Amino acid sequence: MTAIGFIGLGVMGGPMAANLVKAGFEVTGFNRSPAKVQRLVEAGGRGAASAAAAAEGADVVITMLPDSPDVEAVLLGDGDDDGVLDRLAPGTIVVDMSTIRPDVARSLTAAGASRGVRVLDAPVSGGEQGAVDATLSIMVGGDAETFAAARPVLDALGRTVVHVGPPGAGQTVKAANQLIVGGTLQLVAEALVFLDAHGVDRSRAVDVLAGGLAGSAVLDRKAPDMLDRNFQPGFRVDLHHKDLGIVTAAARDAGVALPAGSLVATLMGALRAQGHGDLDHTALLLQVEQLSGRSPAERSARDGK
Ligand code: NAD
């Protein structure tokens, strides 16, 4: 049996850790807010009081944390706290499944290598539902032998697991994923406001659009939430804003122009600046409605006249 230390039990990490328990792994988890550790214990895992305690004696350590500084703090240490990397036996595998900067992923792999610890970057796509159903797409950067060794663990979390290249490559592919998802979501939001303004039944429109070239996983999974005005995360605007920052910085480093991507990054940032950082990224709809004077309040005020 492989012992797994799991650090970060939020929207994604919670169900992922529970799936590893279901698959027969021995899972010890830690999260900054303890209620989430309790949920893992109820699912059959063990709880730890610190990241270091969760990682102690593990064969594989998984991190599923919000952003680059969080992963660096946990793995490399922060102030008085030792980093997890310093506590691991040589040969241990660390799989960072958070979405972070590709350059940080590369430096964490190098920091691991200097201690004999093997690090993979393995960000995911598929959202909360994909985490619950263990159907995530997992894009893995790092050494091929380490990927092969970690594969049984990754297979318990996802359906499409692909080794995409050397350290950092997983995060680069994830950045491209976030570019496509952000751009598509914005256009789905615009299409829904456009259809509504023309008095078309939007739910029927989405059904037919889904069967043609405009069909996509984003349309299938996110248009119903937009129509229900359900903006509960899911994937928070704050996190997508972070990801589009990664995309624009990495594009700039490579000398690549992303005209539409840069605009979407600005729109996501504007949504966050208006106080919507904790909503699901489907809240892009609110901003399109606002730009067109078609928020529910504006519409009822108009209809009342
Ligand atoms: P989340 O905020 O729900 O979960 C992160 C968890 O980490 C929280 O429970 C938080 O308490 C914990 N945490 C933060 N710092 C910690 C620390 N130092 N030690 C221990 N725990 C700590 O976020 P999420 O939605 O689960 O996303 C996690 C990562 O996965 C992010 O990088 C995100 O971009 C990525 N991601 C999210 C989704 C999604 O749909 N939610 C999809 C794909 C990828």
Q: Are 223 and 193 in contact (CB under 8 A)?
A: no
Give 79's pLDDT tier (boundaries 50, 70, 90). Answer: confident
How much is the pLDDT for 305? 65
CB atoms within 10 A of CB 123: 27
- pLDDT at residue 303 is higher than 90: no
Judging by beta carbons within 10 Å of its beta carbon (0-12, 13-18, 19+), is residue 126 exposed, middle or buried? buried
Q: What is the share, in percent, of the chain residues with pLDDT greater than 70?
A: 99
How much is the pLDDT for 82? 83
Question: Considering its fold, how many domains does the chain have in total?
Answer: 2
Q: Which of 150, 234, 145 is nearest to 185 (CA)?
A: 234
How much is the pLDDT for 133? 98
192 and 211 assigned to the same domain: yes
If you count them, how many residues does the chain have? 305
User: For 90-140, what is each residue's pLDDT tens digit?
Assistant: 999 999 999 999 999 999 999 999 999 999 999 999 999 999 999 999 999
Using the 3D structure, point to which of 138, 166, 194 is the last residue of a domain.
Answer: 166
- Higher pLDDT, residue 234 or 305: 234
159 and 195 assigned to the same domain: no
- pLDDT at residue 42 is higher than 70: yes
Q: Is the CB of 9 inside a 6 Å radius of any atom of ligand 1?
A: yes
Q: Which of 106, 114, 84 is nearest to 171 (CA)?
A: 106
Residue with tokens 């049996």: 1
Q: How far is the CA of 101 from the centre of ligand 1 (A)?
A: 15
Query: Please, what is the end-to-end C-alpha distance for the chain in angstroms?
Result: 69
Q: Are 284 and 268 in contact (CB under 8 A)?
A: yes
Rounded to an integer, the average pLDDT of 152-176 is 98
Type of residue at 88: L
Q: For 134, phi and psi rounded to 5 degrees?
A: 55, 40
125 and 157 assigned to the same domain: yes
Q: Is the CB of 36 inside a 6 Å radius of any atom of ligand 1?
A: yes
- pLDDT at residue 304 is higher than 90: no
**CATH number (domain holding residue 205):** 1.10.1040.10
Would you give the DSSP letter of residue 98? S
Q: Is the CB of 225 inside a 6 Å radius of any atom of ligand 1?
A: no
How much is the pLDDT for 201? 98
7 and 145 assigned to the same domain: yes
How much is the pLDDT for 80? 75
- pLDDT at residue 288 is higher than 70: yes
15 and 116 assigned to the same domain: yes
Q: Are 241 and 269 in contact (CB under 8 A)?
A: yes
Rounded to an integer, the average pLDDT of 236-249 is 98
How much is the pLDDT for 81? 78
Q: Are 104 and 78 in contact (CB under 8 A)?
A: no
pTM over 0.85: yes
Nearest CA to ligand 1 atom 12: 8
30 and 157 assigned to the same domain: yes
Using the 3D structure, point to which of 149, 166, 183 is the last residue of a domain.
Answer: 166
How much is the pLDDT for 92? 98
**CATH number (domain holding residue 104):** 3.40.50.720
Q: Is the CB of 70 inside a 6 Å radius of any atom of ligand 1?
A: yes
Nearest CA to ligand 1 atom 19: 32
Q: How far is the CA of 7 from the centre of ligand 1 (A)?
A: 10
Q: Mean of the per-residue pLDDT values for the chain?
A: 96
What residues make up the domain containing 133? 3-166
Task: Compute the distance between CA of residue 80 and CA of residue 162 in angstroms, rounded to an integer.
Answer: 37
How much is the pLDDT for 1? 65
Give 58's pLDDT tier (boundaries 50, 70, 90). Answer: very high
- Bridge pairing between strands 81-82 and 77-78: antiparallel
Using the 3D structure, point to which of 132, 166, 200 is the last residue of a domain.
Answer: 166
**Which atom in ligand 1 lies closest to the alpha carbon of residue 13?**
26
How much is the pLDDT for 302? 81
